[in-house]
Amino acid sequence: MKRLLLFGVAVAAVVLLLATFGSGYTGTDQQAVSAVQERAPEYDPWASPAWAPGATTEAALFALQGGVGAAVLGYYLDRLRTSDAPDA
Protein backbone atom coordinates (compact mmCIF):
# COMPACT_ATOMS: atom_id res chain seq x y z
CA MET A 1 0.00 0.00 0.00
CA LYS A 2 2.81 2.42 0.88
CA ARG A 3 4.60 1.68 -2.38
CA LEU A 4 1.46 2.39 -4.37
CA LEU A 5 0.97 5.69 -2.53
CA LEU A 6 4.61 6.66 -3.06
CA PHE A 7 4.34 5.76 -6.75
CA GLY A 8 1.19 7.88 -7.09
CA VAL A 9 2.87 10.87 -5.46
CA ALA A 10 5.90 10.48 -7.74
CA VAL A 11 3.71 10.29 -10.86
CA ALA A 12 1.73 13.35 -9.75
CA ALA A 13 4.96 15.30 -9.18
CA VAL A 14 6.32 14.36 -12.61
CA VAL A 15 3.05 15.29 -14.32
CA LEU A 16 3.00 18.63 -12.50
CA LEU A 17 6.58 19.39 -13.48
CA LEU A 18 5.98 18.46 -17.11
CA ALA A 19 2.75 20.45 -17.26
CA THR A 20 4.36 23.64 -15.94
CA PHE A 21 7.79 23.33 -17.58
CA GLY A 22 8.52 26.36 -19.74
CA SER A 23 5.09 27.89 -19.14
CA GLY A 24 6.51 31.21 -17.95
CA TYR A 25 4.81 30.88 -14.58
CA THR A 26 5.27 33.92 -12.37
CA GLY A 27 4.45 34.35 -8.72
CA THR A 28 1.54 36.38 -7.43
CA ASP A 29 3.83 39.23 -6.37
CA GLN A 30 4.97 39.73 -9.95
CA GLN A 31 1.41 39.38 -11.23
CA ALA A 32 0.28 42.11 -8.81
CA VAL A 33 3.07 44.45 -9.92
CA SER A 34 2.12 43.86 -13.55
CA ALA A 35 -1.56 44.52 -12.83
CA VAL A 36 -0.79 47.79 -11.02
CA GLN A 37 1.53 48.97 -13.79
CA GLU A 38 -1.11 48.11 -16.37
CA ARG A 39 -3.99 49.89 -14.63
CA ALA A 40 -2.12 52.87 -13.17
CA PRO A 41 1.19 53.46 -14.98
CA GLU A 42 1.75 56.72 -13.06
CA TYR A 43 1.66 54.93 -9.68
CA ASP A 44 4.77 55.52 -7.58
CA PRO A 45 5.32 53.06 -4.70
CA TRP A 46 5.51 54.90 -1.36
CA ALA A 47 7.48 52.17 0.44
CA SER A 48 10.52 50.14 -0.46
CA PRO A 49 11.90 46.98 1.12
CA ALA A 50 14.57 47.39 3.80
CA TRP A 51 16.44 44.38 2.44
CA ALA A 52 16.03 42.54 -0.85
CA PRO A 53 17.67 39.09 -0.81
CA GLY A 54 18.93 37.40 -3.93
CA ALA A 55 16.84 34.74 -5.66
CA THR A 56 18.67 31.83 -4.02
CA THR A 57 18.50 33.37 -0.55
CA GLU A 58 14.82 34.16 -1.04
CA ALA A 59 14.09 30.55 -2.01
CA ALA A 60 16.09 29.27 0.97
CA LEU A 61 14.24 31.56 3.38
CA PHE A 62 10.90 30.47 1.92
CA ALA A 63 11.87 26.81 2.37
CA LEU A 64 13.02 27.51 5.94
CA GLN A 65 9.71 29.23 6.69
CA GLY A 66 7.81 26.23 5.34
CA GLY A 67 9.96 23.83 7.34
CA VAL A 68 9.49 25.72 10.60
CA GLY A 69 5.75 25.93 9.97
CA ALA A 70 5.55 22.20 9.26
CA ALA A 71 7.53 21.42 12.42
CA VAL A 72 5.27 23.60 14.57
CA LEU A 73 2.14 22.07 13.03
CA GLY A 74 3.52 18.54 13.49
CA TYR A 75 4.41 19.26 17.11
CA TYR A 76 0.94 20.67 17.79
CA LEU A 77 -0.82 17.73 16.12
CA ASP A 78 1.36 15.24 18.03
CA ARG A 79 0.57 16.98 21.32
CA LEU A 80 -3.10 16.99 20.41
CA ARG A 81 -3.03 13.30 19.57
CA THR A 82 -1.09 12.21 22.64
CA SER A 83 -3.07 14.39 25.06
CA ASP A 84 -6.23 12.43 24.25
CA ALA A 85 -4.52 9.07 24.80
CA PRO A 86 -5.45 7.29 28.03
CA ASP A 87 -2.73 7.01 30.63
CA ALA A 88 -1.20 3.54 30.78
Which residues, 6 or more positions from 26, have their beta carbon under 8 angstroms from its beta carbon?
34
The answer to whether 43 touches 37, Cβ cutoff 8 Å, is: yes
Which residues, 6 or more positions from 27, have their beta carbon under 8 angstroms from its beta carbon?
none
The answer to whether 36 touches 43, Cβ cutoff 8 Å, is: yes
pLDDT over 80 at 27, yes or no: no
Task: Kindly report, residue by residue over 36-76, the tens digit of the pLDDT.
Answer: 999 999 998 888 889 988 888 988 999 999 999 999 999 99
Phi, psi of 50, rounded to the nearest 5 degrees:
-75, -30
